[in-house]
Structure 1
Amino acid sequence: MSLFHLLIRNIWHRKALSILTVLSVTATVAFIIVLSLSKAGVEQGAEKGYGPFDVVIGAVGSDTQLVLNTFYHVGAPTGNISGNTLDKVKESSEVDRAYGFTTGDSYNGYPIIGIEPEYFMTRYGDQRLSDGSLYSNTGEVVLGAYAAKMLQLRVGDTFYGAHGLVEGGHLESEEEEEGGEHEEHGDDAHSIFKYTITGILPKLNTPDDRAIFTTMDYAWAVHEGADHNKEITAILVKPANLLSAQQLRSELESINGVQVVYSSKAVADVVNLVDKGSEIVDMITILCIVLAAISILLSLVAAASERTKDVGLLRLLGKSRGFVWMAMIGEGLVITSIGLVLGLLLGHVGGYLLQDTLFSYAGIQINPLQWSLDHLIIAAGTIFIGLVASFVPAIRMYRMDPLTLFKA
């Protein structure tokens, strides 16, 4: 009997315990893969989350809250600042590009953001829209690719927004559109201000995919009567050079109620906070790895106890100590390898199933097809653990006398 056939027969003979051991390895590997994909998504999102806008200006408050709301569309804004601040920033010689940013309304949980359409050229370059064209008039909007997909909206559709990031808003029906009348769904101005979709953005792989964009003055048009005090939520600034950010900060520090934040620093603070929180997850991961190793060890120890007489017979028939050694080691490696392959597949399937949820709630973009150095480390570590767990029963069988094994 060849070594391979012996391994398959032994594994199949104790298929229940073998399957449980494989599932233990599979679950551990899949869990680690999902964590690896999520971590890579956070790091990549942090790297390109704010694009070329190294400075963001907004109301005094939490700098991380300002950056998260402005670039990642998470949480509430820190407040509003005067529109005159934008004029002052644009006049500064330290600024290459500056765009005002207004937000606070939404449609079915997707934020409506007012910003000049030139923003897309500055951040993403000359990219063609998936459909339609950019907005130019008040009330016209373009949708991020993910928002358009989830809301099932197309160019030409119209809707009514809602105040705040709530599951509100109203899609105009055909009867309302043909009749020219709109039944108010609330008692505020949002229920009568209609948005018309002019375009769908291409997939950008940033949080902008889950936002709705329109002209910066939409907030002033919705809230009539506030025209005398045209406030904005934030200003995105692309400095002229490396030293310009510090110079610009010095220029604006004297303005009451305004803070100037370095985007990279605020994002780094968030990533560091996530890393600290992931320490608990790392502890859970280590525990899962230990349990998987113990599962492999117990499975092989139980197998060795059952096969003592079989191994003794093989030795008496002339099989070498090395054959017995390889049989026990090989069984552990085969079980571990099967669990590893299934775990890799399950981990990427899990990443695929979770990508929309994570992107919708946290702006974390998971690429379920991504393969990296982490995968090689995970694979090598899994095989190593399986090999180590196989040593104990293999050494026991290797050292025993064949006649003693048979009499046992």
Structure 2
Amino acid sequence: MSLFHLLVRNILHRKFLSLLTLLSVTATVAFIIILSLSKASVEQGTEKGYGPFDVVIGAEGSETTLVLNTFYHVGSPTGNIPEETLEVVLQDKGVEQAYAMTTGDNYNGYPIVGINPQYFMTRYGDRKLSAGTLYGHTGEVVVGSYAARLLHLQVGDTFSGAHGLVKDALDVELGDDTEGAEHDEHNAHQSFLYTVKGILPELNTPDDRAMFTTLDYAWFVHGELNADREITAILVKPKTLLGAHELQSKLDQMNKIQAVYTSKVVADVVNLVDRGSEIIEIVTLLCVILAAISILLSLVAAANERTKDVGLLRLLGKSKIYVWMTLIGEGLIITVSGLLIGLLVGHVGSYFLKDLLFTYGGIQINPFLWTQDHFYIAGGTILIGFVASMGPAFRVYRMDPLTLFKA
């Protein structure tokens, strides 16, 4: 009988204990993989979430709220600012491109964003739509790929929006194909119909879960065409960093208006995530320790259970190294098996969690992402399995075969 077959037979002989140890390793590896992919995706998503727009202008309030609402379509805006602010920004020599944005409505929880269609050219370049064309008239919309897929929207469909940004998409997630959103806040929303003109390609940004239309949609819906019109935010692509600084200084002097550096706010958010992940890393460390203890206990039980078998092997002429390898091999087989299953479970679990994180956080997990952390996880898992196997194996290795046989 080969050494490998002997190892497999010994593992199967202790089915329950071996399975328990295997599940412990699998759960630990899967947990670490999901955390690793989530962290990597959050960092990548926040970095590319705002594109070339290094400055965002909005009403006074939380800088983080302004950036998250403008670029990630999360939370409520800080307020509105006069439309005339856009003219001030466009006249600044340090500005290359600037686009006003209006928000405040949704369809089944997915935000409706009013913005100049040239935004897509500036942000994404010459990307072709998956279907249809860009909007050109009030009431026409293009829908992000994720929102279109979940809401079952196609070119030519019509729907009514609802006021606010509160998500209420339970019926959609359960597969309700009804069009339109029931609401009784404003009759104006019910009477104003949007027509889907196009579907955006998959952009892998928060824009995948939004709907875009003309800037003036909010003025039409809320009857502000003849009033003092307001916008929610202005996205600015400056020509230089110096130009961005001068623009920020000028706008900060205006009443109830703030201009913030997008990258600074995003960096603060990432740092906050990193601090939160430290607590999770402590929990992960405890899981790793428990997995190592499981391997250790499993092999201690195996060594005690097969004391006479080991003694017989030694009396039959098998070397100490052979006996040592049987116990080390058992630990490594269980560890490697748990590692491989854990990698699979971790990626599959990330696949099923990606929509949840994207819906509520605007960040997509890439379940097929392979990072350097995977090599550390694999190497660390095997090392822990090897070290945990060393104790029982070394104890048997040192004992006299006659003593083992008499035990």
TM value normalised by structure 1: 0.95
1:230-269, Cα deviation, whole Å (9 max, x unpaired): 1000000000112111011122122100001000000011
Post-superposition offset of 1:225: 3.9
The one-letter code of the counterpart of 1:210 is R
Instruction: Provide the rounded CA distance (Å) in 2 between the counterparts of 1:186 and 1:236.
Output: 30
The one-letter code of the counterpart of 1:343 is G
SS state of the match for residue 237, structure 1? Answer: strand
Partner of 1:82: 82
1:38-78, Cα deviation, whole Å (9 max, x unpaired): 00110101110100000000000000000000000000000
The one-letter code of the counterpart of 2:370 is W
1:164 maps to 2:164: yes
Instruction: Provide the rounded CA distance (Å) in 2 between the counterparts of 1:187 and 1:265.
Output: 38
The one-letter code of the counterpart of 1:329 is I
Partner of 1:151: 151
Query: Are the equivalent residues in 2 in contact too, given 1:106–1:168 (CA < 8 A)?
Result: no
Partner of 2:201: 202
Note the 1:372-387 alignment, pairs <5 A.
Answer: 372-387=371-386
Partner of 1:266: 265
1:217 maps to 2:222: no
Q: Which runs of 5+ in 1 are unaligned?
A: 178-182
The one-letter code of the counterpart of 1:304 is A
1:95 maps to 2:123: no
Instruction: Provide the rounded CA distance (Å) in 1 between the counterparts of 2:71 and 2:47.
Output: 12
SS state of the match for residue 250, structure 1? Answer: helix
Instruction: Provide the rounded CA distance (Å) in 2 between the counterparts of 1:77 and 1:407.
Output: 78
Note the 1:9-158 alignment, pairs <5 A.
Answer: 9-158=9-158
Partner of 2:288: 289
1:174-193, Cα deviation, whole Å (9 max, x unpaired): xx99xxxxx99554311111
1:370 maps to 2:369: yes
Instruction: Provide the rounded CA distance (Å) in 2 between the counterparts of 1:390 and 1:215.
Output: 65
Post-superposition offset of 1:274: 1.1
Instruction: Provide the rounded CA distance (Å) in 1 between the counterparts of 2:343 and 2:160.
Output: 44
Instruction: Provide the rounded CA distance (Å) in 2 between the counterparts of 1:366 and 1:154.
Output: 25
Instruction: Provide the rounded CA distance (Å) in 2 between the counterparts of 1:185 and 1:231.
Output: 24
1:407 maps to 2:371: no
Post-superposition offset of 1:226: 5.2
Query: Are the equivalent residues in 2 in contact too, given 1:38–1:364 (CA < 8 A)?
Result: no
Post-superposition offset of 1:152: 0.5
The one-letter code of the counterpart of 2:308 is K
Query: Are the equivalent residues in 1 in contact too, given 2:204–2:364 (CA < 8 A)?
Result: yes
Instruction: Provide the rounded CA distance (Å) in 2 between the counterparts of 1:32 and 1:251.
Output: 47
Q: Using the aligned pairs only, state the percent identity.
A: 69
CA 1:228–1:78: 2 relative to 1, 3 Å:
same
Runs of 4+ residues deviating >6 angstroms: 168-171
Query: Are the equivalent residues in 1 in contact too, given 2:163–2:185 (CA < 8 A)?
Result: no
Instruction: Provide the rounded CA distance (Å) in 2 between the counterparts of 1:144 and 1:236.
Output: 19
Matched residue pairs, number?
A: 400
Instruction: Provide the rounded CA distance (Å) in 2 between the counterparts of 1:321 and 1:385.
Output: 23
The one-letter code of the counterpart of 2:313 is L
Instruction: Provide the rounded CA distance (Å) in 1 between the counterparts of 2:166 and 2:108.
Output: 6
1:299-330, Cα deviation, whole Å (9 max, x unpaired): 00000000100000000000000001111111
Query: Are the equivalent residues in 2 in contact too, given 1:60–1:258 (CA < 8 A)?
Result: yes
Instruction: Provide the rounded CA distance (Å) in 2 between the counterparts of 1:57 and 1:314.
Output: 78
Partner of 2:175: none
Instruction: Provide the rounded CA distance (Å) in 2 between the counterparts of 1:72 and 1:267.
Output: 11
Partner of 1:180: none
Instruction: Provide the rounded CA distance (Å) in 2 between the counterparts of 1:254 and 1:372.
Output: 45
1:90-119, Cα deviation, whole Å (9 max, x unpaired): 111010000001100000000000000000
Q: Which runs of 5+ in 2 are unaligned?
A: 173-178
Partner of 1:333: 332
1:328-363, Cα deviation, whole Å (9 max, x unpaired): 111100000000000000000001111111111111
Instruction: Provide the rounded CA distance (Å) in 1 between the counterparts of 2:115 and 2:225.
Output: 18
Partner of 1:2: 2
Query: Over aligned residue pairs, what C-alpha RMSD do you find?
Result: 1.8
The one-letter code of the counterpart of 2:401 is P
Instruction: Provide the rounded CA distance (Å) in 1 between the counterparts of 2:349 and 2:186.
Output: 44
Query: Are the equivalent residues in 2 in contact too, given 1:161–1:168 (CA < 8 A)?
Result: no
SS state of the match for residue 103, structure 1? Answer: strand
Instruction: Provide the rounded CA distance (Å) in 2 between the counterparts of 1:127 and 1:306.
Output: 66
SS state of the match for residue 129, structure 2? Answer: coil
Post-superposition offset of 1:405: 0.4
The one-letter code of the counterpart of 1:244 is G
The one-letter code of the counterpart of 2:87 is D
Instruction: Provide the rounded CA distance (Å) in 2 between the counterparts of 1:187 and 1:196.
Output: 19
SS state of the match for residue 53, structure 1? Answer: coil
Query: Are the equivalent residues in 2 in contact too, given 1:141–1:197 (CA < 8 A)?
Result: yes
CA 1:369–1:157: 2 relative to 1, 3 Å:
same
SS state of the match for residue 241, structure 2? Answer: coil
CA 1:110–1:321: 2 relative to 1, 3 Å:
same
SS state of the match for residue 229, structure 1? Answer: coil
